[in-house]
Amino acid sequence: MRHEGEPVAGPMAGEGGAPFSFHAPSGAARPLLVSVPHAGRFYPDREKARSAVPLDVLARLEDRHADALVAGLDARGYGVVVAHVARAVIDLNRDPRDIDRRMIAGMPHGQAVIETAKSRGGLGLFPRSLPRVGGLWRAPLPWAEAEARVAAIHAPYHALLDRQMHAIRAAEGQALLLDVHSMPPLERARYPAGQRPDIVIGDRFGASAATRFSESARAVVERHGLCAAVNHPYAGTYIAERHGRPAQGRHALQIEISRDLYLDERLEEPGQGLSAMRALIIDLAGALAEELRGQDLPVAAE
């Protein structure tokens, strides 16, 4: 199901069309919204032509098949927002001002941008480079095109999250956004035996969500026999920062799932572990929804 007027792009795994889709909850709605901003696999022809590297290199930016992790959640009462346009085109988990000037041609003098560690490392709003690869593009992005992408993709995506969170909070008193990502497997050598995180939960050190949600999420992960970490090495980025307002009853939690848990050995296609990770996500969403509804806390007026 979907809300009329929202962008739609075919199945949850989408292959183009609209830049993202909203899968509205079926039946009784839960007080939790799911976002998957980095699973997009659609590359416009003009981006393929502008690329200085093969498409499989640009695909390294993707949270490969992370949309498969949340398939079916809408049928269980959760709203799900899934990006279909590739992260190489625009990163929905970045501030719209987080622009690397080296990426842009014709940027107006005095245009307000911010410089972050992400953009300095080549991974700003418009990704510029990858480690051990270097530059990704043959030419800078024209400023008019950069503005158009923000207006057509980034702004509507976040406006949709805002509307859905507001609606959930109005109905339930509180709302929680679960922002789903995947991460390259962390190096086992950097952790004591058996302590390499399989899943990293981020609440921006309590700034984007009440810490009870991170602890609830950790408990679910551990019940599934996996190792969880909170805020290290990923604490949450722009989506959690923008949409998490715990004092106003709006919480946002980021979750990073190691790709070797649900992809094949090459980390390219869904593997045998996918069903187990889907089951974990279902349990996680349920536990967070129950935690949210089980707390009768005072909420600040918006």
* Average pLDDT value for the chain: 92
Please state the rounded mean pLDDT for residues 32-50: 96
How does strand 20-23 pair with strand 228-230?
A: unpaired
Whether 299 has a pLDDT exceeding 50, the answer reads: no
pTM of the model: 0.92
Domains in the chain (CATH in brackets) are 20-93+149-293 (3.40.630.40)
Measured in degrees and rounded to the nearest 5, phi and psi for residue 228 equal -115, 145
Q: For position 17, what pLDDT does the model report?
A: 73
Close Cβ partners of 74 (under 8 Å, ≥ 6 residues apart)? 1, 23, 24, 25, 26, 80
Q: For position 274, what pLDDT does the model report?
A: 98
